[in-house]
Amino acid sequence: MKRQRNHRGKVRSGTTFPGSQSGHRKTQQLCRQVEETLHYCLSDGVDADRLCDYMVVSVDPAPDSAHLLVTLATDEAGDLASKLELLSQHEGRLRTEIANSISRKRVPRLSFRIVPLALAQQWDADRHLG
């Protein structure tokens, strides 16, 4: 694989080579840091009285570390569209908290997915067994 170079002739920092796990490890590390930050924000931080009903199930790259898919669980029945709207209204504050907790030049964009609490508990059990 030919190395990609920037305008100064240096190898691009985002370039990964076949067999290199560095990019994958860093993405997993970022997802874990974002997950921990969101756990805090949803329980004690940003507008906690309105967001405390959500539990962070997972944070995954979608499709890469510049955009993350946050899976949240809730046992509250209600309008899914209004819940997603509430989360999108708070995305800026959540990204600010994430920026304070990670060491990156750019903070990833967030997308949200809401699942029933029972399904999230099953996913968690499968994740720990597998």
Q: Dump pLDDT digits (tens) for 86-126.
A: 888 989 999 999 999 998 889 999 999 998 887 776 666 66
Q: What is the mean pLDDT of the chain?
A: 80
d(CA 71, CA 119): 11
d(CA 83, CA 100): 25
Mean pLDDT is lowest, of 38-47, 63-72, 81-90, for 38-47
Could you tell me the domains of the chain?
22-129 (3.30.300.20)
DSSP state of 60: E
Distance of CA 17 to the CA centre of its chain: 25
User: Taking the model in full, what pTM does it have?
Assistant: 0.73
Q: How many Cα atoms occupy the beta-carbon half-sphere of 59 within 13 Å? A: 23
Structure tokens given for 1: 């694989």
